[in-house]
Amino acid sequence: EDKVVQSPLSLVVHEGDTVTLNCSYEVTNFRSLLWYKQEKKAPTFLFMLTSSGIEKKSGRLSSILDKKELFSILNITATQTGDSAVYLCAVPAIRDDKIIFGKGTRLHILP
Amino acid sequence: ETGVTQTPRHLVMGMTNKKSLKCEQHLGHNAMYWYKQSAKKPLELMFVYSLEERVENNSVPSRFSPECPNSSHLFLHLHTLQPEDSALYLCASTNSREAGELFFGEGSRLTVL
């Protein structure tokens, strides 16, 4: 069965800390892995990863994919209170035309 | 503003009511989705429409009835719901079903009394 597992489920750190969020997956015919940030309502797109070992960066956020070990990490450096959100990992399952989401990691940044 | 608009943002209904959720996308996408988000659960796919045809019905109870009159609009008709149907209902659209990059609306928070 296709699945996406995120860890940790929740994380509380202080402003300025660096955090690493994990996403492992088991999906037939893997094409891509996506990270979303969900603050209040609509998840917003962060990264799409398709190739192993190539880091994607956007400001203080970066992400990398390991297709051999079937996981991805999302790093956030010098965290700010505005980074508090739920971070979702998703993988399209081409066979069933579904996009499978993990449960998310709820990140809370303390001032 | 993601280009995907959902209304209403909040809805409270009784178990015998009939209501509808509306989603409109202004991005020219060709596929639209309904997802259900309950507390402490992953996003659950409910329906997928591609080029206005339903391509996925993920074992959703018949009390939820989708409608896609054109590529820009998607409805979710609700009738005789149960309290456990209370959740955030998210609409999303994409032009890239295989890659999976979805653009989400703000969601409709549904409470069934």
For residue range B4-29, list pLDDT tens digits in order. Answer: 999 999 999 988 889 999 999 999 99
CB contact B39 to A (< 8 Å): no
Q: Per-residue confidence at B44, pLDDT binned at 50, 70, 90?
A: confident
For residue range B46-80, list pLDDT tens digits in order. Answer: 998 887 777 777 688 999 999 999 999 999 999 99
Which residues on B lie below 8 Å from A98 (Cβ)? 45, 48, 56, 58
3-state secondary structure labels for all residues of chain B: CCCEEEECCEEEECCCCEEEEEEEECCCCCEEEEEEECCCCCCEEEEEEECCEEEEECCCCCCEEEEEEECCEEEEEEECCCHHHCEEEEEEEECCCCCCCCEECCCEEEEEC
User: Pick from A92, A98, A104: which is nearest to B99 by CB?
Assistant: A92
A94 has a pLDDT exceeding 70: no
